[in-house]
Amino acid sequence: MKATENIAANWRDYECLDAGDGEKLERWGKFVLQRPDPTAIWPKANPALWSKADAIYHRSKAGGGFWQYIKKLPETWNIQYQDLTFKVSPTGFKHTGLFPEQAANWDWFSSLIQNAATPVKVLNLFAYTGGATMAAAKAGASLTHVDAAKGMVSWAKENSQLCQLENHPIRYLVDDVPKFIQREIRRNNHYEGIILDPPSYGRGPGGEVWKLEDQLYTLLSEAARLLSEKPLFFLINTYTTGFSALALANILNLIFPKQTVETGQLGLPITESKLVLPCGIYGRVIF
C-alpha cells in the first residue's frame, strides 16, 4: 500500500489564488469566485486580495446558500484544461460544475489508456458533468457514463460538444448506480477501467437513504465484478469529511488483495501562500 498526495498543478484557466479562514478564492478563466471551504482552517495569506472577488457564495443558516454578485457575470462560460473544454456555471449549491483537483486523476488514467495495447472500455459511475468521461474519451477509451441526475447528464453532453467528442463512443445513462451495477453483472458486461465518485449522502429513487460509510464496501466489491479479464485500472474518489485514506486503503486491499493499491489526497496549489488546499481522497488500483 502506498499513501501519497496528488496536486493538480497543470491548470492555466483555473487558479486557487488564496485560501484560509474557511474560504477559498479561485480564478475560473476571467472571473474570480469566493466560496466556503471547511478544510481551509489556516489564516488567509493576503486578505486584501479578496476584494477581487466577482461573486461570493454565502451559506444560509437554514441550509443551502446564495451567490452575491459583485459584478454581473454570464450564466455560463468555458475553461480549458489541456485539450479539454468545460462549461462552468455557479450553481445554487456553491458548485461550478467542475472539480479542478480531479485533473490529477485525469492525467493518471489518461496515460494508462493511451499506453494500453488493446481497446479500453471505461465505466464512469456517479459521473456528474463528465470531467473524467471527457478525459478518458480524449485518451481513446469508449465510455459508459452513468448518473442519477438528468441535468448533470445533459451538462456532460454539452461538455462533450465543447470537447469535440459528440461523435465519440460515449453512452449516457440516467440511472441509479447500484441498480445499474447489478444489471450489468447479470448482463455479463465488463470494462477495463472503472471510475466512481459517490456522494457522501443522498436518497435513492425510492427514497432510500444513502450513506457512504454504510455502502462503500458493498458498492466497490460489486463494481469490481464488472472488471474485464485484463483490467487496466479502478479509481474511487470521495469527499466525505472524516473518511480517511487509510480506511479506503483497507477496503481496497480486501477487495483486491493481489493488486497494487494506492490511496492519498488530492490537492490544489495555492498561489498566494504556496500551500496546498486538500480536496478529498482517492483510491487507485493498478493492474
Over the Cα atoms of the chain, what is R_g?
Answer: 19
Q: What is the CATH number of the domain that holds 14?
A: 2.60.40.1180
Instruction: Say if residue 175 is in the same domain as residue 265.
Output: yes
The dihedral through the CA atoms of 149, 154, 155, 159 has a sign that is positive
Instruction: Say if residue 51 is in the same domain as residue 175.
Output: no
Cβ atoms within 10 A of the Cβ of 186, count?
Answer: 8
Q: What span, in angstroms and rounded, lies between the C-alpha atoms of 283 and 287?
A: 13
* pLDDT level of residue 98 (50, 70, 90 thresholds): very high
Give burial (CB, 10 Å; 0-12/13-18/19+) of 245: buried
Instruction: Say if residue 201 is in the same domain as residue 277.
Output: yes
Residue 196 is which amino acid? L
Give burial (CB, 10 Å; 0-12/13-18/19+) of 92: exposed
Please tell me the pTM assigned to this model. Answer: 0.94
* pLDDT level of residue 92 (50, 70, 90 thresholds): confident
Q: Do the domain assignments include residue 90?
A: no
Q: What is the CATH number of the domain that holds 193?
A: 3.40.50.150
Least trusted range by pLDDT, from 4-8, 44-48, 75-79, 89-93: 4-8
pLDDT tens across 147-164, in order?
999 999 999 999 999 999
Hey, which bits of 114-243 come out as E strands? Answer: 121-125, 142-147, 170-174, 193-196, 201-203, 209-211, 233-238
Instruction: Say if residue 29 is in the same domain as residue 116.
Output: no
DSSP 164: T
Q: Give exposure, 30-47, as e/b (b: 16+ Cβ within 10 Å).
A: ebbbbbebebbeeebbee
Q: What are phi and psi of 219, to 5 degrees?
A: -60, -50
How many H helices and E strands in the chain? 6, 17
Instruction: Say if residue 58 is in the same domain as residue 142.
Output: no
Q: What span, in angstroms and rounded, lies between the C-alpha atoms of 223 and 194?
A: 8
Domain count, the chain: 2
Per-residue pLDDT, averaged over 18-36, amounts to 98
Instruction: Say if residue 72 is in the same domain as residue 105.
Output: no
DSSP 217: H
Q: Do the domain assignments include residue 89?
A: no
Higher pLDDT, 209 or 229: 229
Q: Do the domain assignments include residue 260?
A: yes
- H/E element, 104: helix 103-114
Q: Do the domain assignments include residue 32?
A: yes
Domain boundary among 46, 80, 114: 80
Instruction: Say if residue 74 is in the same domain as residue 124.
Output: no
Instruction: Say if residue 173 is in the same domain as residue 115.
Output: yes
Q: What is the pLDDT of residue 3?
A: 47
Q: Do the domain assignments include residue 108?
A: yes
Is there a contact between 68 and 58 (Cβ–Cβ < 8 Å)?
yes
Note down the domain range covering 40: 5-80
Is there a contact between 55 and 23 (Cβ–Cβ < 8 Å)?
no
Is there a contact between 15 and 29 (Cβ–Cβ < 8 Å)?
no
Domain boundary among 26, 49, 80: 80
pLDDT tens across 67-90, in order?
999 999 999 999 999 999 999 999
